[in-house]
Each structure stands twice: as structure tokens, then as C-alpha cells.
């Protein structure tokens, strides 16, 4: 009891003194540069919550990274015990083929590039040359990487656009806006999307005056981390 009483008294003595004159609509809170700061309730609360939330967010992010790393170590060790040396030959791999796309979302109507949201996956791959194996996951039109490493990524797409039969010019709103195709990655821990590789082509005059066809192939080696999500984007999904 004596020890507790001494501790309480010590805390009371070391606490900063609250100003005696605090106006209505004001509050005193700990600040980043001193023990207490008094001022507008709304402004001080806003700044205080921003600092506290940022600290908590950093802590949650760190814990998520640790959980992800620990999970990877456990899975790797378990698979090594099961498959021994052959485990290292079981490299994550996937190959998907496209399918009819849903209508554009309102948020994508004015976007420079839009993602391909639907791919044949699961049982739909049985009648194709596609596959998903050794830890790669399909989620919302994206491929999720299971482990860190260097990956070979590629995408091949054929584009078709209608043309004006009288001139052969592409029947598009803006002929100066090129045809784009690329592969992007996103990681929820980083919160930002990054372009990994892309191809840009200009519109051309049709030789048959009715339609144009384009082929776009992109590929690259990419350093990816566990949890990275890969997606394919194009400038105009209607092509």
C-alpha cells in the first residue's frame, strides 16, 4: 500500500500543470512538442487523433508483416518436411485465359486504363491450356503471389476496333488517345498500385476500311513479394 501511495504521489507531482485560464470551446491535450497545449477543441482533437491513429496504423502494419513472415516460414518448413528437395522445384505458376467482361463500373468510366476483371478460373480452366498451381491464388480478377521471388510475368491480348467504311479511320472519340496494355501489381500493406510493364500503340487507318486489329504482348522479370496482386489493364475494354 505504501509503495502504491508513493507511486501515485510521484505521478501527481510530475504531471504538467493545467493552465488556470481556459476559454469556452478550448481544450488542453498532450502535444508533439511539449506536455500540454491548449487551444481550439476541434483543431487540437483533429491533430491529436491524427497522431494517435498514425501510430496505431504503423503498429498494425508491423504486426501484419510479422504474421505474414511467420506464416511463410511455417508453411515453408512444413512443405520441406513433406516434399524434401522436390519442394524447391514446385514453383508458383499460373496461366489464365480471358472471358466476356462485365459492364464498366462508374469509377472506371473516365479512367486512363481499366482492369480486366473476369478470367476463366477454377473448373473453367479444364477445357483450356490454363492452370493455377503451387500457391498462386485467384481473387477478383487478380493473381495473388504466395512467396517472395523473381517471377516471369507476361500478357498477350488481341484488340479489335471498328472503323468508318468511307475513310478507314478508327471510329473512336479521340484518335490521339493511344491503345494501352499493361500489367500492374498491388499490395494491401503498401496501399499503392504500381505499373510493372506496358505497351502503347497508336491508332492506324484500316486497310479493309471496316475494322482494325492489334496484337499486344508484354513481358518482364519482376521482383514480387508474398501478397502482391497482379492485374492486367487496358485503355479500352470494349476493344
Compute the distance between CA of residue 99 and CA of residue 225 in angstroms, rounded to an integer.
28
Instruction: Compare 207 and 39 and report the one with higher pLDDT.
Output: 207
pTM score, whole prediction: 0.63
Output the nine-digit C-alpha cell for 20.
488556470
The per-residue pLDDT for range 170-217, each reduced to its tens digit, is 999 888 999 999 999 999 888 889 999 999 999 999 999 999 999 999
Compute the distance between CA of residue 47 and CA of residue 60 in angstroms, rounded to an integer.
20
Q: Domain-by-domain residue ranges, the chain?
A: 38-89, 93-234
Residue carrying C-alpha cell 498491388 = 186
- Quick one: pLDDT band at residue 19, thresholds 50, 70, 90? low
What is the full DSSP assignment across 111-175?
A: -SSEE---B--GGGGGGSS-EEETT-EEETTEEEP-S-EEEEEEEEEEEEEEB-TTT--B--S-T
- What was the pLDDT predicted at 86? 61
| Residue spans of beta strands (DSSP E) within the chain | 26-29, 37-40, 93-95, 114-115, 131-133, 137-139, 142-144, 149-162, 179-186, 193-201, 211-224, 229-234
Hey, which CATH number is domain 93-234, 2.60.120.10, 2.60.120.40, 2.40.160.40, 3.40.50.300?
A: 2.60.120.40
Amino acid at each position: 500500500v505504501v509503495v502504491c501511495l508513493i507511486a501515485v504521489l510521484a505521478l501527481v507531482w510530475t504531471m504538467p500543470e493545467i493552465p488556470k485560464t481556459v476559454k469556452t470551446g478550448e481544450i488542453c491535450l498532450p502535444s508533439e512538442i511539449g506536455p500540454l497545449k491548449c487551444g481550439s477543441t476541434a483543431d487540437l482533437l483533429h491533430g491529436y487523433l491524427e497522431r494517435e491513429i498514425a501510430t496505431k496504423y504503423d503498429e498494425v502494419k508491423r504486426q501484419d508483416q510479422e504474421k505474414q513472415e511467420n506464416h511463410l516460414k511455417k508453411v515453408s518448413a512444413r512443405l520441406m518436411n513433406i516434399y524434401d528437395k522436390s519442394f524447391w522445384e514446385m514453383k508458383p505458376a499460373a496461366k489464365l485465359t480471358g472471358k466476356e467482361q462485365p459492364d464498366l463500373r462508374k469509377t472506371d468510366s473516365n479512367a486512363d486504363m481499366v482492369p480486366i476483371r473476369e478470367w476463366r478460373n477454377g473448373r473453367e480452366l479444364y477445357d483450356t491450356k490454363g492452370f493455377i498451381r503451387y500457391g498462386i491464388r485467384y481473387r477478383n480478377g487478380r493473381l495473388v503471389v504466395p512467396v517472395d521471388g523473381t517471377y516471369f510475368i507476361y500478357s498477350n491480348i488481341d484488340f479489335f476496333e471498328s472503323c468508318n467504311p468511307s475513310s478507314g479511320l478508327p471510329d473512336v472519340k479521340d484518335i490521339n488517345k493511344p491503345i494501352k496494355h499493361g500489367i500492374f501489381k498491388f499490395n494491401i500493406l503498401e496501399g499503392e498500385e504500381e505499373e510493372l510493364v506496358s505497351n502503347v500503340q497508336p491508332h492506324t487507318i484500316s486497310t479493309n476500311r471496316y475494322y482494325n486489329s492489334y496484337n499486344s504482348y508484354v513481358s518482364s522479370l519482376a521482383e514480387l513479394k508474398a501478397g502482391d496482386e497482379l492485374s492486367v489493364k487496358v485503355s479500352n475494354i470494349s476493344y
